[in-house]
Amino acid sequence: MKFFASCAKGLEYLLVDELVALGCSGGTAAVAGAHAEGSLSDAQRAVLWSRLASRVLWPLADYACADEHALYAGARAVPWHEHLDATMTLAVDAHVSGSEVTHARYAAQRIKDAVVDALRDTTGARPDVDLEAPDLRLNLVVRKGRAILSVDLGGGPLHRRGWRRAQGEAPLKENLAAAVLLRGGWPALYAEGGALLDPMCGSGTLLIEGALMAADVAPGLLRHGGRAPSRWRGFDVAAWDGMVEEALARERVGRTALRPVFDGGDIDPQAIRAARENAAAAGLRDAVRWHVRSIAQLDAAGLGQHSGAVAGDPALDPVADVPAGTAATGESTWSARGLVVCNPPYDARLAADPALYRALGDALRRAVPQWRASLLCGDRELAFATGLRAKKTYQVFNGALECVLVVCDPVLPAARVDAAPRVLSEGAGMVANRLRKTLKASRAWREREEVDCFRAYDADIPEYSAAIDVYTDVVSRERWLHVQEYAAPAEIPEAVTRKRFGELLAGASDALEVPRERIAVKTRVKGRGGAKYGHFARRGEFLTVREGAARLRVNLFDYLDTGLFLDHRPLRLRIAQQARDRRLLNLFCYTGAATVQAAVGGAAQTTSVDLSATYLEWLADNLRENAIGGTRHRIAQADAMAWLRADRGEYDLVFCDPPTFSNSARADDFDVQRSHVELLQLAVSRLAPDGVLYFSNNFRRFRLDADALAAFARVEDVSAATIPPDFARNPRIHRTWELRRRHG
């Protein structure tokens, strides 16, 4: 059985790992969550033990939803008497997107009406609504013409652990705090004897979460006092009670063995009072040492014994919980190893001051130079202002705010942040300014459509003639660039071309904040017969990137192309949307991105054909990356034309994106202009009666033989709908036609 666990964006792959560790048989990352494979018991265990999930949703119904009437009818058909009775209370949370249903509150109301009407017809009575603490909380998602109705097994947001009594102005959610700790490797550091420091602790979320993690306390124990979080009739209360009993036993052992290696400081006495109150509610009154302390005072303190004094007591020095006049001096008493975690201010309400970030970095280098740091910063510029060298960088979201999580191991200085900034040449500055404007203009649609890999520049300034594509690694969230130089006019001297290309690289590195070692460059060299691309690297280095719900492997350095044609993104996502329970044939499949999208979209069967063993191995890796396997997904190494002549299968979807030319020794010569009619006639003959074939190519001088095709197919040019916004300046990057069988 599959269920869904939601989380903050940026935590998806951590969540998959956690769910598998908790006993699920598998998991696939999605946007803001993970699809998990497991039993109801596994889902309930996630409610009790997940530190990262926001909600755990057990599906009850998944149905087509063309409009509000279908929304109601699908919910009305559920046997609600099996899930609740009229004495129980109900609440519905709704999330809608697309044109079918546009108002979330109205959608929630219609689901509530369907439940009430069904129970009234069955029992003669109806349940009441309780939005705050219902017996049964339902979750509705309407997206891409389908409605998914689920039980919220946790009864509400799981980040609410149950210990928060007081909070500062912008508290960090507990599940995001857990991600900061996990990315920093805190559980392993604690097991090795390490300590935990938050020098700007606010109301104490990171330290309290870290201490409960170290003590092996299940996040769900305090939330419900051990009681079942839902009165849904399907909830396995006996299994839950057994899990709680086991969790309580683990908690007793963990709290007894917990070492007081937690230190928090903040310049605001009110924040420290809130932190103490929260720690006491979490059962950690004596585990954390609290200080009213500025960043500048950090290196005068150390992890010592607790005095038990109350922060803000005038008899105490603000640096540490020791009597005034006896503050630590001289050599620091910090532990030899540990983790610094911190969430410095960065949002619109709390001013983001680069000088504060600089002071934080300076203090950490003085006090704990050999420690690891995991810092949640507002953006890359603020992270850079710390002056710390980031080993890993991750993009995460704190609510709606896009943030950067940097992990430094150990805390060492990077390039000095107060050094004079690098001066770009006039040409490089023009490129950088153009890229910044493009990023700003495209940000809204990239965030709306959740696009991680995109074209940022395409010879926008004619003198700087190249294409720049951005690829974002799903694990590290680091940006990488793929830069392809276009051929310069023959009258331009080679020296000028080289100088301009160097300026383009400098401008791109500056504007996109990508170091030179993460830029793959494909430059043209003069050769016999004209310009051609030079030799490629043999690094064998792959990134994993995200496209929709799929993970895809790309190689930026070793081949002319990366393994993912970015201009086909809308067409692949269209295939994913249409693939559920259908059979896909992918001809000239390349690395199989369209195959993966169809499989992730629920295709009943996929068949992928290509002559290249390298590409087919790449496809197999892409399928494994998405936990897709089995005999339903066939791979054939063959010449596509010869394979079609021999095949007798039937397919609901066919994707055909052939090369312009091919003269492989293992197949007949192929010319898309000369061969496309025969190719398409063979492919259309394999279509199911209501099937569709998408034919695409990027040959600029290609002319479709519409008269010849009309004898066996209905043809529609859908190119405009398949060109994404980042390729709008080059609308002929490819052409796409939709073909259907002509009957009668």
Q: Identify which of 405, 331, 328, 410 has the alpha carbon closest to the alpha carbon of residue 364.
A: 410
Please name the residues in contact with 29: beta carbons below 8 A apart, sequence gap of 6 or more: 12, 13, 15, 16, 474, 546, 549, 551
State the pLDDT at residue 409: 85
Gap between the Cα atoms of 321 and 323, Å rounded = 7
State the pLDDT at residue 429: 93
State the average pLDDT over residues 396-418: 75
State the pLDDT at residue 106: 93
Percent of the chain with pLDDT over 90: 70
Asked if 33 contacts 6 with a C-beta cutoff of 8 angstroms, the reply is yes
Q: How many CA atoms lie within 13 A of 176 on its CB side?
A: 24
Q: Identify which of 290, 175, 154, 169 has the alpha carbon closest to the alpha carbon of residue 232.
A: 154
Please name the residues in contact with 598: beta carbons below 8 A apart, sequence gap of 6 or more: 575, 576, 579, 582, 584, 586, 606, 653
Write down the pTM of the prediction.
0.62
pLDDT in tens, 165-223: 877 566 799 999 999 999 999 999 999 999 999 999 999 999 999 999 999 999 999 88
State the average pLDDT over residues 712-735: 94
User: Average pLDDT, whole number, for the chain?
Assistant: 88
Rounded (10°) CA dihedral 615, 620, 623, 628: 150
State the average pLDDT over residues 146-159: 96
State the pLDDT at residue 226: 83
Gap between the Cα atoms of 636 and 658, Å rounded = 16
State the average pLDDT over residues 469-495: 90
670: helix, coil or strand? Answer: strand
pLDDT greater than 50 at residue 504: yes
State the average pLDDT over residues 450-470: 95
Question: Which domains can be identified in the chain, with CATH numbers?
Answer: 2-152 (3.30.2130.30), 174-215+258-408 (3.40.50.150), 426-533 (3.30.750.80), 543-741 (3.40.50.150)
pLDDT greater than 80 at residue 663: no
pLDDT greater than 60 at residue 301: no
State the pLDDT at residue 536: 61
Question: DSSP character for 323?
Answer: B
Percent of the chain with pLDDT over 70: 89
State the pLDDT at residue 170: 60
Asked if 312 contacts 169 with a C-beta cutoff of 8 angstroms, the reply is no
Confidence tier at 667 by pLDDT (50, 70, 90): low
State the average pLDDT over residues 537-564: 90
Question: DSSP character for 389?
Answer: -
State the average pLDDT over residues 385-397: 88
Gap between the Cα atoms of 201 and 189, Å rounded = 20
Q: Looking at the chain, how many residues does it have?
A: 744
pLDDT in tens, 515-549: 888 899 987 655 544 455 555 656 778 999 999 99
Gap between the Cα atoms of 346 and 340, Å rounded = 18
DSSP for 41-77, written as a single string: HHHHHHHHH-SS-SEEEEEEEEEE-SSHHHHHHHHHT
State the pLDDT at residue 401: 80
pLDDT in tens, 51-108: 999 999 999 999 999 999 999 999 999 999 999 999 999 999 999 988 888 899 999 9
Asked if 129 contacts 112 with a C-beta cutoff of 8 angstroms, the reply is yes
State the pLDDT at residue 191: 94
Gap between the Cα atoms of 104 and 95, Å rounded = 6
State the pLDDT at residue 713: 94
pLDDT in tens, 596-629: 999 999 999 999 999 999 999 999 999 999 999 8
State the pLDDT at residue 318: 38
Gap between the Cα atoms of 223 and 51, Å rounded = 12
Dihedral of alpha carbons 273, 275, 276, 282, sign? positive
Residue 118: its H or E element: helix 104-123
Tell me how crowded residue 553 is: count the other CB atoms within 10 A of its CB.
20
State the pLDDT at residue 224: 79
| Neighbour-count burial for 598-628, b at 16+ CB within 10 Å, e otherwise | bbbbebebbbbbbbbeebbebbbbbbebbbb
State the pLDDT at residue 307: 34
pLDDT in tens, 228-284: 999 999 999 999 999 999 999 999 999 999 999 999 999 999 999 999 999 999 999
pLDDT in tens, 328-367: 333 345 677 899 999 998 754 334 577 888 889 999 998 9
State the pLDDT at residue 384: 84
State the pLDDT at residue 203: 93
